Amino acid sequence: MIPVLDFTRFSEGTDREGFVADLGAAARGPGFFLLKGHGIDEALRAAVFSQADRFFSLPMAEKEAVSILKTPHYRGWAHDGLESLDENSGQKDRKESFNIGFDLSPGDPRVIAGEPFRGVNQWPDLPGFRDTMLAYYDAALDLGIRLSRAIALDLGLPEDYFDCAFIEPLAALRVLHYPPGTGAEGEIGAGAHSDYGVVTLLMTDGEPGLQVKPRGGDWMDVPSVEGAYVVNIGDCLMRWTNDIYVSTPHRVLPPKRQRRSVAMFVEANPDVMVEALPGTGAPKYPAVRAADYLMSRLNATYNEEVG
């Protein structure tokens, strides 16, 4: 069972301890929960979907002009079939997406030096697209940081423990479009996988297709609650918590109608060392830089060379 949590219990202080306990139970159990009361403006959420629809309806040549294959920093348009999220099957995902990272200017020293994940965003020639996406990036990242404070309390840490980890982070915003399924054997929207980061904040259009596979259980549909985010624990946080939290496999089946979703992958700063948190016992994993860990996971995902 995937619980529905109301973030106002924490953000408005009406039941902080109860919310923290419920979040902790969800993070240790299914690894997924639905979050309402998040405070992100509904008009902004609707504008993101509208701008994404405009982009995905562009002619192929205009999307290819901002292809993710043109940059080594994983930003821009990823065409249908570029990814295989199920690393075991190698089955190509039937979806297209557009990725946005932490926004830097071309003159930033890290951009000039060619640091991994420190490139500039690519933008299509669509009025309002850039401003809308960056406004949403900031709002969703802020929600992720506020959520991390409840996570810190659940783990017995100071409330602001993770705040410094999310300064100029690796966090990525991804808008996705899944075309209607064709009925072909073995077709998949997104193959079975677990997310790579800290937490994922997923906004959907309500079209079914997302499924989760709890440890020891069968595939089950993720319910849709209007206005709520689907939140899941990522592999990085599972590693950080020394396996106290659970990063759960999930997939997207080919939809009957087109399906659109917007995922904010909340990640740490590239130089943050991910290692067993205080009080979590003997480390089960070696310490690793956040950027190095993310790179190792992304390299196994793409079917063509990025950059």
**What residues have CB less than 8 Å from 278, skipping those under 6 apart?**
157
Helices (H) and strands (E) in the chain, counts: 8, 14
> What's this model's pTM, rounded to 2 decimal places?
0.96
pLDDT digits (tens, 9 = 90+) for 239-257: 999 999 999 999 999 999 9
Distance CA 178, CA 252 (A): 9
CA 266 to chain centre: 6
* Candidate from 82-86, 163-167, 169-173, 221-225 with smallest mean pLDDT: 82-86
Q: Which tokens in the block code for residue 180?
A: 């209607």
Contact between residue 281 and residue 267 where contact means Cβ atoms under 8 Å apart:
no
pLDDT digits (tens, 9 = 90+) for 104-118: 999 999 999 999 999
User: What's the pLDDT at 299?
Assistant: 79
pLDDT at 32 over 80: yes
Of the pLDDT bands very low, low, confident and very high (cuts 50, 70, 90), residue 304 is low
Arithmetic mean of pLDDT, 143-167: 98
Q: What is the DSSP string of 42-54?
A: HHHHHHHHHHHHH
User: What's the pLDDT at 49?
Assistant: 98
User: What's the pLDDT at 132?
Assistant: 98
Contact between residue 26 and residue 159 where contact means Cβ atoms under 8 Å apart:
no
pLDDT digits (tens, 9 = 90+) for 69-87: 999 999 999 999 999 898 7
Of the pLDDT bands very low, low, confident and very high (cuts 50, 70, 90), residue 307 is low
| Residue 3 CB burial class (10 angstroms; 0-12, 13-18, ≥19) | middle
Which residue in 7, 73, 84 sits closest to 39, CA to CA? 7
Which residue in 300, 262, 245, 289 sits closest to 95, CA to CA? 262
Arithmetic mean of pLDDT, 158-181: 97
pLDDT cut 70: percent of the chain above it:
98
3-state secondary structure 166-227: HCCCCCEEEEEEECCCCCCCCCCCEEEECCCCCEEEEEECCCCCEEECCCCCCCEECCCCCC
Distance CA 265, CA 229 (A): 13
Mean pLDDT over each residue of the chain, to the nearest integer: 95
Class (C level, CATH) for 4-299: mainly beta
Indicate the domain borders of the chain. 4-299
Helix (H) or strand (E) holding 135: helix 129-154
**What residues have CB less than 8 Å from 113, skipping those under 6 apart?**
none
User: What's the pLDDT at 185?
Assistant: 87
Contact between residue 7 and residue 37 where contact means Cβ atoms under 8 Å apart:
yes
Distance CA 163, CA 146 (A): 9
Of the pLDDT bands very low, low, confident and very high (cuts 50, 70, 90), residue 45 is very high
pLDDT at 179 over 80: yes
Q: What is the DSSP string of 232-283?
A: EE-HHHHHHTTTSS----EEEPPPSS-EEEEEEEE---TT-EE-PPTTS-S-
Q: CA 151 → CA 17, 77, 241, 293, distances in Å?
A: 11, 32, 10, 21
